[in-house]
């Protein structure tokens, strides 16, 4: 009995020791498994084209990034799909093109489906997620606790379990346009780059303010390098440098005039570096050092992260991975978009194949240089605008201030600033036709909602417009076709435009009116269909945006006073797009100068557009756009 008990006790102790050993092994393996999963660090700067030495810029000084680039993949053809912050970030956070979510209208937040956020899936996969700290996803119903931490000071260093892999985003805003949107160039110091040393693209006149803005922006790029250095040092000191895949990129292009917010190369191309530590180079799926010329867009970032981390890519995402296992064929074309310049709805779409870029402008009644209150605080925009009004720009530098053409086509390899529009070049017609067809097909197949006007996107609803359009079977393709017709119509197409104006769909009626306005604005329709236009204008049940466009046409055609008074009424009502129509009347708004003056200093109205309209009528000189206290802003001779 005693012998049995003794042996049994020994066996029990052996069993306990075995169980403990197995438990420790399991815990050890679990920790080892966590350690074998790579961390991901995103270093994101704002409003910066590839103004870096390894992209060919000789003005900025970025030794930290230069050193990192020598050990990284340098993507030569990386693009923000959207040319402004909030639409670009909407695409980043969702893996969906912002127009397909109706979140392409900059700083007009909309509800989106709550599962369309990549951090949700990273957290489910066991990653600690932090965002420091910009969000700006253009959404109005963001899920609570989307990130483990999202605020100033959020960092992977704060995770409680230091063995937990992390995905951390850090944003730097020192390169943002706000640094340049100072209205004048005084007190800009210290400087490292002299304005006289920089190169100017041919589409910009050589003016001191333009040189100053660009040099001041380049200074910010050099200063940004110190931020990168601090972040990398912090990563190294944490012991995680060799466990972390590092992305460095900008949220879109900038800050030249005609860059940020425009779908040109300088507005959409971004720097992108990806660095793999030695232990995770095998995950890359491509060569991990050197230049990579594949087309890469923001829509591809989330799928790429999921592919690298072995997380299943959700079906709703529209991009494709460019790193990791089982990579698809590289993209042949990349899609980009722009909806608005603040209050001005001037949607554009673009395709690039890496060499050629096609741009389709859907509202050619207005110029690209339609004023807006934020970017016009850049002294360079004001100087360029004033030079044009005073006749100080050549034909190329004046294009920006004239109503757009529907199509632009550039060889961006040989013409990176896109100054030579090849749209009529005989040798390119086959490619242009193919890219036009590809662009329309892409927009229809992905259900591009970005051609619905501002008020027709049901912002007031809690249901995302993405869902509404599907649940109610909206004919999105018909809206795209209507916009395409409106932007390219000739006088022969007038019956089709009138037919659109009589359609039961408000969005089609809008494009019918805008198509006729575009024809008239370009001098291709001396006698518009006044009866049909007046019917739209006088119909109180019609959407306000269509009534405003009809009123604009009536004022421009025959100085219709009732139409002008209606535009003034909607300005007084603070209707969002009425200010755009007012500004684009030019000197046709002169009969309501006195009424506009009475609206000055009204606390709820956007004074910029009122002052802009008064400059257009000749009441104010240009300094009236941003008047200084006590300054005389009376009439100065300008060309309307």
Cα distance between residue 369 and residue 374, in whole Å:
13
> Residue 123 — very low, low, confident or very high, per pLDDT cuts 50/70/90?
very high
Q: Is residue 82 part of a domain?
A: yes
Count CA within 13 A, CB hemisphere, residue 12. 6
Looking at residue 326, which CATH number applies to its domain?
A: 3.40.720.10
Number of helices and strands in the chain (H, E) = 21, 14
pLDDT of residue 88: 98
Q: Is the pLDDT of residue 520 over 80?
A: yes
Cα distance between residue 226 and residue 631, in whole Å:
40
Q: Is the pLDDT of residue 30 over 60?
A: no
Q: Is residue 233 part of a domain?
A: yes
| Closest residue by Cα to residue 383 from 396, 366, 367, 397 | 397
Q: Is residue 84 part of a domain?
A: yes
Domain that holds residue 171: 35-332
Q: Is the pLDDT of residue 640 over 50?
A: no
By percentage, how much of the chain surpasses pLDDT 70? 93
**What DSSP assignment string belongs to 345-394?**
EEEEEEEE-SSEEEEEES--SSBTT---TTGGGSHHHHHHHHHHHTT-S-
Per DSSP, 403 falls in state B
Domain count, the chain: 1
pLDDT of residue 379: 98
pLDDT of residue 240: 98
Q: Is the pLDDT of residue 166 over 70?
A: yes
The answer to whether 534 and 503 have CB atoms below 8 angstroms apart is: no
By percentage, how much of the chain surpasses pLDDT 90? 92
Q: Whole-number mean pLDDT of the chain?
A: 94
State yes or no: cis peptide before 518, omega within 30 of 0: no
pLDDT of residue 46: 98
The alpha carbon of residue 62 and the mean position of all alpha carbons in its chain are separated, in whole angstroms, by: 25
pLDDT of residue 391: 98
Cα distance between residue 290 and residue 94, in whole Å:
29
pLDDT of residue 18: 40
Q: Is residue 119 part of a domain?
A: yes
> Residue 630 — very low, low, confident or very high, per pLDDT cuts 50/70/90?
low
Cα distance between residue 326 and residue 398, in whole Å:
49
Q: Is the pLDDT of residue 449 over 50?
A: yes
The answer to whether 152 and 133 have CB atoms below 8 angstroms apart is: yes
Q: Is residue 259 part of a domain?
A: yes
The least confident of 29-33, 73-77, 190-194, 551-555 is: 29-33
Q: Is the pLDDT of residue 31 over 70?
A: no
Q: Is residue 272 part of a domain?
A: yes
Helix (H, G, I), strand (E, B) or coil at 569: helix
pLDDT of residue 50: 98
Cα distance between residue 428 and residue 409, in whole Å:
9
The dihedral sign for the CA sequence 266, 99, 316, 144: positive
Q: Is the pLDDT of residue 634 over 70?
A: no
The alpha carbon of residue 616 and the mean position of all alpha carbons in its chain are separated, in whole angstroms, by: 29
Longest distance between any two alpha carbons in the chain, whole Å: 118
pLDDT digits (tens, 9 = 90+) for 370-424: 999 999 999 999 999 999 999 999 999 999 999 999 999 999 999 999 999 999 9
Which run of H or E residues covers position 344?
strand 344-352
Q: Is the pLDDT of residue 3 over 80?
A: no
Cα distance between residue 176 and residue 47, in whole Å:
5
Cα distance between residue 502 and residue 437, in whole Å:
27
State yes or no: cis peptide before 105, omega within 30 of 0: no
pLDDT of residue 385: 98
Q: Is the pLDDT of residue 253 over 80?
A: yes
Q: Is residue 99 part of a domain?
A: yes
Q: Is the pLDDT of residue 28 over 50?
A: no
The answer to whether 61 and 225 have CB atoms below 8 angstroms apart is: yes
pLDDT digits (tens, 9 = 90+) for 365-376: 999 999 999 999
Q: Is the pLDDT of residue 499 over 90?
A: yes
Count CA within 13 A, CB hemisphere, residue 632. 3
Choice between 3 and 232, residue whose per-residue pLDDT is larger: 232
Position of tokens 């799926």?
Answer: 285
Cα distance between residue 553 and residue 161, in whole Å:
64
The answer to whether 217 and 200 have CB atoms below 8 angstroms apart is: no
pLDDT of residue 637: 39
pLDDT digits (tens, 9 = 90+) for 236-252: 999 999 999 999 999 99
Position of tokens 């253009």?
Answer: 138
Cα distance between residue 205 and residue 362, in whole Å:
27
pLDDT digits (tens, 9 = 90+) for 219-234: 999 999 999 999 999 9
Q: Is the pLDDT of residue 10 over 60?
A: no
Cα distance between residue 625 and residue 176, in whole Å:
22
pLDDT of residue 36: 85
State yes or no: cis peptide before 255, omega within 30 of 0: yes
pLDDT digits (tens, 9 = 90+) for 80-117: 999 999 999 999 999 999 999 999 999 999 999 999 99
Q: Is the pLDDT of residue 23 over 80?
A: no
Phi-psi region of 391 (alpha: psi -120 to 50; beta: other; left: phi over 0): left
The alpha carbon of residue 390 and the mean position of all alpha carbons in its chain are separated, in whole angstroms, by: 32
> Residue 635 — very low, low, confident or very high, per pLDDT cuts 50/70/90?
low
Q: Is the pLDDT of residue 557 over 80?
A: yes
């Amino acid at each position: 009995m005693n012998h049995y008990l003794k042996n049994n006790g020994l066996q029990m102790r052996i069993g306990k020791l075995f169980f403990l050993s197995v438990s420790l092994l399991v815990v050890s393996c679990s920790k080892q498994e966590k350690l074998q999963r790579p961390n991901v660090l995103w270093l994101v700067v704002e409003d910066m084209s590839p103004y870096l030495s390894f992209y060919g810029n000789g003005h900025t000084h970025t030794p930290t990034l230069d050193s990192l680039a020598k050990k990284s993949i340098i993507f030569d053809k990386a693009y923000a799909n959207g040319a402004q912050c909030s639409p670009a970030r909407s695409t980043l956070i969702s893996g969906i093109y912002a127009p397909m979510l109706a979140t392409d209208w900059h700083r007009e937040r909309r509800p989106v489906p709550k599962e369309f956020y990549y951090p949700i899936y990273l957290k489910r996969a066991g990653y600690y997620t932090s965002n420091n700290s910009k969000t700006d996803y253009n959404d109005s119903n963001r899920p609570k606790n989307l990130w483990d931490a999202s605020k100033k000071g959020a960092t992977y260093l704060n995770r409680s379990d230091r063995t937990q892999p992390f995905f951390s985003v850090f944003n730097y805003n020192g390169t943002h346009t706000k640094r340049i949107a100072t209205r004048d160039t005084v007190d800009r110091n210290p400087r490292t780059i002299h304005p006289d040393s920089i190169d100017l693209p041919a589409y910009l006149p050589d003016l001191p303010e333009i040189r100053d803005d660009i040099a001041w922006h380049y200074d910010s790029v050099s200063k940004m390098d110190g931020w990168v250095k601090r972040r990398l040092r912090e990563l190294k000191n944490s012991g995680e440098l060799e466990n972390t895949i590092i992305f460095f990129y900008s949220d879109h292009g900038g800050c030249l005039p005609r860059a940020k917010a425009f779908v040109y190369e300088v507005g959409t191309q971004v720097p992108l570096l990806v660095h793999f530590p030695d232990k995770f180079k095998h995950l890359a799926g491509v060569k991990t050092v050197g230049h990579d010329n594949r087309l890469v867009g923001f829509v591809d970032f989330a799928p790429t992260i999921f592919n690298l981390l072995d997380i299943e890519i959700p079906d709703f995402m529209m991009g494709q991975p460019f790193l990791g296992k089982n990579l698809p064929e590289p993209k042949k074309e990349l899609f980009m978009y722009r909806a608005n310049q603040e209050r001005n709805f001037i949607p554009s779409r673009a395709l690039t194949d890496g060499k050629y870029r096609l741009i389709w402008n859907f509202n050619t009644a207005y110029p690209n240089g339609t004023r807006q209150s934020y970017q016009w605080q850049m002294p360079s925009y004001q100087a360029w605008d004033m030079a044009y009004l005073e006749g100080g720009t050549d034909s190329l530098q004046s294009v920006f201030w004239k109503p757009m053409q529907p199509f632009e086509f550039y060889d961006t390899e040989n013409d990176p600033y896109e100054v030579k529009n090849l749209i009529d070049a005989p040798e390119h017609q086959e490619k242009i036709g193919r890219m036009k067809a590809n662009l329309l097909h892409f927009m229809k197949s992905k259900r591009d909602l970005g051609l619905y006007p501002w008020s027709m996107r049901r912002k007031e609803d809690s249901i995302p417009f993405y869902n509404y359009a599907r649940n109610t079977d909206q004919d999105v393709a018909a809206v795209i076709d209507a916009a395409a017709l409106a932007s390219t119509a000739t006088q022969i197409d007038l019956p089709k435009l009138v037919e659109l104006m009589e359609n039961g769909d408000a969005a089609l009626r809008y494009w019918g009116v805008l198509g006729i306005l575009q024809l008239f604005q370009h001098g291709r329709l001396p006698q518009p269909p006044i009866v049909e236009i007046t019917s739209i204008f006088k119909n109180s049940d019609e959407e306000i945006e269509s009534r405003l466009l009809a009123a604009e046409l009536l004022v421009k055609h025959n100085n219709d006073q009732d139409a002008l008074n209606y535009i003034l009424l909607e300005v007084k009502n603070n209707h969002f797009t009425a200010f755009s129509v007012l500004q684009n009347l030019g000197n046709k708004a002169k009969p309501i100068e006195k009424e506009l003056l009475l609206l000055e200093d009204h606390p709820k109205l956007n004074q910029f557009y009122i002052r802009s309209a008064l400059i257009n009528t000749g009441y104010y000189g240009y300094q009236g756009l941003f008047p200084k206290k006590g300054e005389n802003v009376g009439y100065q001779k300008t060309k309307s």
